Amino acid sequence: MSAPIRIVVLNGPNTNLYGLDPNGPYGTLTIDDISERCRACAANLGATLEFRQSNHEGVLVDWLQAARTEADGIIINAGSLSYSSIAILDALSAAALPAIQVHVSNVFKRENFRHYSPLSSVVTGCIIGLGPEGYEMAVAALIARLKSS
């Protein structure tokens, strides 16, 4: 029997505030709720999942570098760093793993600066604007891709 697929979900600045403003663009689920749902989804599909959040760019870079040997795939919501971090772009590229970028809100209905994310150029795919459920979709899609390769 082969080892289970290992997924790491990395979350950037302010994602820890999800669910605190029910009228905001991110819905009512907290980051802990999303984590629990992602873990359950992964377990149901025979994978393990590590879910992490940091407001610090360097921590996210460290986690991306560690993923090279600790994970089979990455899901990333880099928060506001999605639009500005070349360090995260480089670390994600160097990880050389299948990766899915998640944006909880529809960035194309928001400010113009959110319409382009450099990270999108190095990920396998993007899930945009489907709310917290987008994380679970990313988990399922990434596991399916890893199982088929």
| Structure-token pair, residue 75 | 């899901």
21 is in an annotated binding site: no
Return the structure tokens found at 63. 């986690």
123 is in an annotated binding site: no
Residue 26 designated active-site: yes
Cα dihedral value 16, 59, 73, 89, nearest 10: 100
Q: Residue 8: beta bridge partners?
A: 50, 74
DSSP 20: S
103, 115, 116, 135: which one is catalytic? 103
SS3 content of the chain, % helix, strand, coil (to 5): 50, 20, 30
- From the list 18, 26, 56, 83, the catalytic residue is 26
Q: Residue 90 annotated as binding?
A: yes
How far is residue 20's CA from residue 147's CA, in Å, rounded to a whole number? 36
Q: Is 8 annotated as a binding residue?
A: no
H or E segment to which residue 6 belongs: strand 5-11
SS3 (DSSP) at 21: coil
Q: Give yes or no: 103 in active site.
A: yes
**Residue 104, marked binder:** yes
Q: Which residues are annotated as a binding site?
A: 77, 90, 104-105, 114
Catalytic residues: 26, 103
Give the residue ranges of the annotated binding site for substrate: 77, 90, 104-105, 114
